[in-house]
Amino acid sequence: MTALSINLNKIALIRNSREGDYPSLIEHAERCIEYGADGITVHPRPDQRHIRSGDVRQLAALVKPLPNIEFNIEGNPFASACQDYPGLICLVEETLPDQCTLVPDADSQLTSDHGFDLSTQGEQLKPIIERLKSLGVRVSLFMDPDLEQIRLAADMGADRIELYTGPYAAAWNSDHLDRIFQQHVDSAKLANSLGLGVNAGHDLNLHNLGKFASIENLLEVSIGHAFTVDSLALGMETAINSYKALLN
């Protein structure tokens, strides 16, 4: 069974366009859980253009007592503290999510668009991974479907990888799709053989998820942008049911 974690960044972005707390992230998370989501994901950034540090604390208080719902915090472990943003690792140490997905996104990026190059960043990451694991937090690394990089992820002591599926989604309905999909299949197989769990995320939607979900032992997908759009068209409950039907 592949878990569905809903990323709330886009809901926070809508809220931040006005003063106040509407739509409420807490109420939105509660509805996602009520309708069958397996987890909640947030990706705070230093400029807090969507998820804010206070949101992370409130969502942790909501989700952590729920035994079957996972809380996943994503972000750049090297991002500096900025105003009310204490830095990703400080925020993770404070809230102790079930999973922390480390992502190599610079402050200037609109969204995550590549995985780690562990040949250059591995030594910096290794003590961070060890620190988070010592706190009981599962560590996942955001990775391209590159076999050598995945071997390095296992050497770093990560628990899981999250395959970056942006190029797969971009190749939908193109001649390149099967080749790119096979790269993800091969990467997932290698990761499993090395003892790494496999998650996936970025630009997955109701059109392309079914094929991707055929990858064996896919543990979790994180979906936010497309889910928010589909919720507008279908309603949140129908959208969640539609995604879960493709996963299982």
Average of pLDDT values for 74-102?
93
Q: How confident is the model at residue 113, as a pLDDT?
A: 62
Cα(242)–Cα(66) distance, rounded to whole angstroms? 23
State the pairing for strand pair 3-7/138-143: unpaired
DSSP character for 221?
Answer: E
DSSP states of 81-98 as a string?
PBTTB--HHHHHHHH--S
pLDDT at 48 over 80: yes
pLDDT at 110 over 80: no
Domain that holds residue 103: 3-247
Cα(129)–Cα(38) distance, rounded to whole angstroms? 24
> What's the structural domain count of the chain?
1
41: its two tokens: 């994901």
SS3 217: coil
Three-state SS for 26-85 is HHHHHHHHHCCCCEEEECCCCCCCCCCHHHHHHHHHHHCCCCCCEEEEEECCCCCCECCE
Of all residues in the chain, the percent with pLDDT exceeding 90 is: 90
CATH of the domain at 159: 3.20.20.70
Question: Are 35 and 240 within 8 A, CB to CB?
Answer: yes
Of all residues in the chain, the percent with pLDDT exceeding 70 is: 97
Q: How confident is the model at residue 107, as a pLDDT?
A: 63
State the pairing for strand pair 3-7/39-42: parallel
Q: How confident is the model at residue 222, as a pLDDT?
A: 97
87: its two tokens: 């830095």
Q: What are 136-178's pLDDT values in tens digits?
A: 999 999 999 999 999 999 999 999 999 999 999 999 999 999 9
Q: How confident is the model at residue 108, as a pLDDT?
A: 61
Average pLDDT, the chain: 95
Buried b / exposed e along 163-199 (16+ C-beta atoms within 10 A): bbbbbbbebeeeeebeebbebbeebbbbbbeeebbbb
Q: Please tell me the pTM assigned to this model.
A: 0.95
Residue 87 vs residue 107, higher pLDDT = 87
Q: How confident is the model at residue 112, as a pLDDT?
A: 60
Q: 209: number of CA atoms within 13 Å, CB side?
A: 26
Helices and strands per DSSP (H, E), number in the chain? 11, 8
User: Would you call 213 exposed, middle or buried from its count of C-beta atoms within 10 A (0-12, 13-18, 19+)?
Assistant: middle
pLDDT at 105 over 80: no
Q: How confident is the model at residue 1, as a pLDDT?
A: 87
Active site residues: 43, 74, 202
DSSP bridge pairs for 40: 6, 71
Residue 79 vs residue 191, higher pLDDT = 191
Q: How confident is the model at residue 123, as a pLDDT?
A: 93
Average of pLDDT values for 212-222?
98
